[in-house]
Structure 1
């Protein structure tokens, strides 16, 4: 594709992202659904070039930042608390689904060797981090369920990729060793974790010495690719390295970043991740045309592949439900026998967890990386795309309704000990105490009376507000409505002064930033 045509295609894709995302918002659909469906429709427009994806390039461009985004912002304490359940999903469920899909595929297509069937199972077994975040970001879930899904999506790609690698090796060489596979998985995981620790430690040292907001933000953006590429070059898990680096950097950023870096960096990162997630789903949709053309068109897909693919989809979905409900039953039996460390999810949470198994970019990229002469490659490509399409469109569109039907209640162990208003009251009390120690000079004269009064009043108001949010809600909303009106009036006057030439551009930007911070604070308090 000529360079100018490629650039024009990228601009068109960005415009399509804006249009499709807006359409999804208006129709109250998950954006991932609209982007995937829109990309699939756009793929067959006359004159549009066929989009072919380089699987290695797709993974290295999109996977590290999207994994880093999940790891950076995940709640670490609940992650540790529920690590057993996350491991059961990220390793156990992926392995179980791989076996089920392999057995069903071999029963449907006995001419396919077992290694090819296992490779297909490894391709479709891990739910995708990008798909999960894209759909779940707009849903309100109990903390435990949310942590299980987020944690699973961060770690399960490593399991799927290791299984796929060994299935391909078995298909090429005809030899397979379960012991060697387990040893390799442990080595890859531990090696990846070690690389993540080292890269994040270097990042901490670097951030402490850079001293410039933009350099710190740039270093923080690049750390995900650094961890992934270093790990892959050392032949260990780039996924685990990126997740480990994200967890460590996410913890340290609270102490390392000044407020200006956090505001600017978060804004930049949020937009970048939004565009990357959207591009992933649009590219998956656009690649449909190349997949269909390769196998001979829709007629071949419908006549020869639709039946087996549908059965594989049902088996894959059933396998996840069997694993989730089976794990919950084991926990319930263990509690009956006196082992009460873990609590069962319950049938409603288990249904939601079983249904939240969307596949995405990793499934497609791994399928595209199949060797050209690998047995059943065309069937596996179509199956991978069908799995992505069905899980994102059907599960993504119905998961919200399912969660609303479930009407979850937050378990007491997963609720924070303090509400937000109680935490604000504690913070305001300590602030007032600190200001009180600094409000007097050495001779004991009060030199900051207004400041002291301001912080004392804030502490009193927050202490009165904590625990009575419902009672204060109407007056609080009215209060911040007035603040927002004052901000709008101030902004209008500021623009008038600038247009009349009374203030210069620098003054406009400085005062506008103050108004923006005031507006953001009011909107956050009102939400």
Structure 2
């Protein structure tokens, strides 16, 4: 294709993204489902070229920012608290699923070498960070489950990629060393942590010296690719490096970034991440035609591969249930024996965790890197796509009802000492103390009476509110509804004055900016 045609195809793809996202919203479907199905339908439209994805390029473009987005907003204290559970899912569950899929593949296809069976297991075993984010942001989970699933999706790709590389090497060379595999995994993880920590620290130092807001935002955008590429270049895990850098940046963002930079960067980042997530799913759908053509057509898939693919999908699903329920049973036994290090999830939470195993871009990209000489390559490609399709379409669309049926409740022991209202009281008291200190001159005269009165009233009202939390929330909502209505009236008047040529563009933009900030504050406070 000509470069201009490629650009036109990209623009058309994003126009399709807008249409499919709107359709998903109207139909009440997860956007990932609409994009995946829509991309698959577009792939077979007459006149559209077959989309051939470069798997390495796909990983380096999409994976770093999406990993960074998850790590940046991860609650580090909760991540550390549940690190054992995250490691169990990100390492233990991936290894177990790989083993189960390898055994099932060997039973179905006895002629397939064990190393190739392990490679297939490594392809389909890690749940995907992109798919998890796309689905989980539409459902509400207790904090512990959300932390476990988000933490798993950030780390497990590293486990799957290491397993895959060693399995492919074993097929090519005919040799395999468990000790070398474990040592390599340790080096990749340790190196990734070191590289990501160093780049995160460099980001902190750099932003402390940059005075230009645009440069600060640009540096914050580029740190994800810098950490991923540096990790891969230094033979460490780019995934772990990106996640580590994201955790460091997320921890220091509150003290490094100014309010203006944070608002502007967050707006830009949200749009970019939204487009990248959408592009991932629609590209997976568009690649369906190429995968089917590569293996000989839909007839070959249905006649020769359907049962094998179905068995592997069942094995993937069973393995996750078996690992999570088995691990929870072991925790229950240890608790009864007196060890209280980690509480078991319970059957309802374990069921939700087991069902939340969507696959996505990493599974497809890794499958596309299979060498042409790999035994069973066609089956692996079809299986990879089928696992993505089934987990996103079936598990993604039913996860919300499963959560509601499970009736999960937030564990009171996981709640912080201060709730939202308590934290607000403490914040307002600190603000009032600072205003009170600065409100008086050295001779005792009052310099800022209205400001002092305003902060005193806010601190007093918040601390002395006697209603229930529900009544308090309603009072806050009513209060800020009036403010939002006032903002809307002010904006309408500004536009009227501008259209009547009574104020110029500069005045309009300056006053409109003030109204925008007031509206953002009101929306945030109301929410």
Superposed counterparts of 1:421-460, under 5 Å:
421-460=421-460
Q: 1:357·1:391 contact (CA, 8 Å) conserved in 2?
A: yes
**1:145-156 counterparts in 2 under 5 A?**
145-156=145-156
**TM superposition shift of 1:92:** 0.2
Kindly indicate whether the alpha-carbon contact (under 8 Å) linking 1:36 and 1:284 is maintained by their aligned counterparts in 2: yes
State the distance in 1 between where 2:476 and 2:351 align. Answer: 38
* 1:43 is aligned to 2:43: yes
Q: 1:241 to 1:467 in 2, by over 3 A?
A: farther
Alignment map for 1:287-326 (pairs within 5 Å): 287-326=287-326
Deviation of residue 468 (structure 1)? 3.1
Matches within 5 A, 1:156-305: 156-305=156-305
Name 2:393's counterpart in structure 1: 393
- Contact kept? 1:421, 1:466, Cα under 8 Å: no
For 1:383 and 1:36, the matched residues in 2 are separated by 16
1:12 maps to which residue?
12
Q: 2-side partners of 1:204 and 1:526: how far apart?
A: 32
The answer as to whether partners of 1:52 and 1:287 remain within 8 angstroms in 2 is yes
1:475 Cα shift? 3.2
User: Using the alignment, how far apart are the partners of 1:457 and 1:331 within structure 2?
Assistant: 51
Q: Any idea what the Cα deviations from partners look like across 1:173-217, whole Å, max 9, x if unmatched? A: 010111110000000000011000111111111101111111000
Aligned twin of 2:346: 346
Is the counterpart of residue 120 in structure 1 residue 120 in structure 2? yes
TM-score in terms of structure 1 length: 0.99
Deviation of the 1:518 alpha carbon: 1.3
1:379 aligns with 379
| C-alpha displacement of 1:477 | 2.5
Instruction: State the shift of 1:525 in Å.
Output: 2.5
SS in structure 1 opposite 2:341? Answer: coil
Q: Which residue of 2 aligns with 1:52?
A: 52
Q: Indicate the SS of the match to 2:503.
A: coil
Tell me the distance in 1 between the aligned counterparts of 2:412 and 2:469: 20
Aligned equivalents of 2:294 and 2:241: distance in 1? 35
Q: Where does structure 1 lack aligned partners over 5 or more consecutive residues?
A: none
Aligned-partner Cα distance in 2 for 1:221–1:397 = 32
- Shift, 1:466, TM fit: 7.8
| Distance (Å, rounded) in 2 between the aligned partners of 1:345 and 1:104 | 28
Structure 2 match to 1:481? 481
Q: CA deviation at 1:519?
A: 1.3
SS at match of 1:446: coil
**C-alpha separation in 1, matches of 2:141 and 2:36:** 24
Partner secondary structure for residue 476 of structure 1: helix
SS in 1 for 2:422: helix
Structure 2 distance, partners of 1:105, 1:165, is: 18
Residues paired across the two proteins, number: 527
3-state SS, counterpart of residue 283 of structure 2: helix
* CA contact 1:439–1:447 (8 Å) conserved in 2: yes
Conserved? CA contact 1:65–1:225, under 8 Å: yes
Structure 1 residue 3, shift from structure 2 partner: 1.2
Distance, in Å, in 1 between the alignment partners of 2:267 and 2:468 is: 32
Equivalent residue, structure 2, for 1:107:
107
Matched, 1:362 2:362: yes
What is the root-mean-square deviation in Å for CA atoms of aligned residues?
A: 1.0
Q: Distance in 1 between matches of 2:452 and 2:468?
A: 25
Contact 1:421-1:465 at 8 Å conserved across structures: no
Q: Take 1:417 and 1:326, find their aligned partners in 2: how far apart are those partners?
A: 32
Distance of 2:136 and 2:465 partners within structure 1 = 31
Q: Partners of 2:236 and 2:484 in 1: how far apart? A: 52
Q: Secondary structure at the match of 2:343?
A: coil
How many Å separate the matches in 1 of 2:503 and 2:420? 40
Higher mean displacement: 509-518 or 499-508: 499-508
TM-score w.r.t. length of structure 2:
0.99
Contact 1:70 1:150 in 2 (8 A): yes
Cα deviation, 1:93-149, whole Å, max 9, x if unaligned, reads: 000000000010011001111111000000000000000000000100000000000
Following superposition, the deviation at residue 467 of structure 1 comes to 7.2
Question: 1:130 aligned to 2:130?
Answer: yes
Distance 1:515 1:312, change over 3 A: same
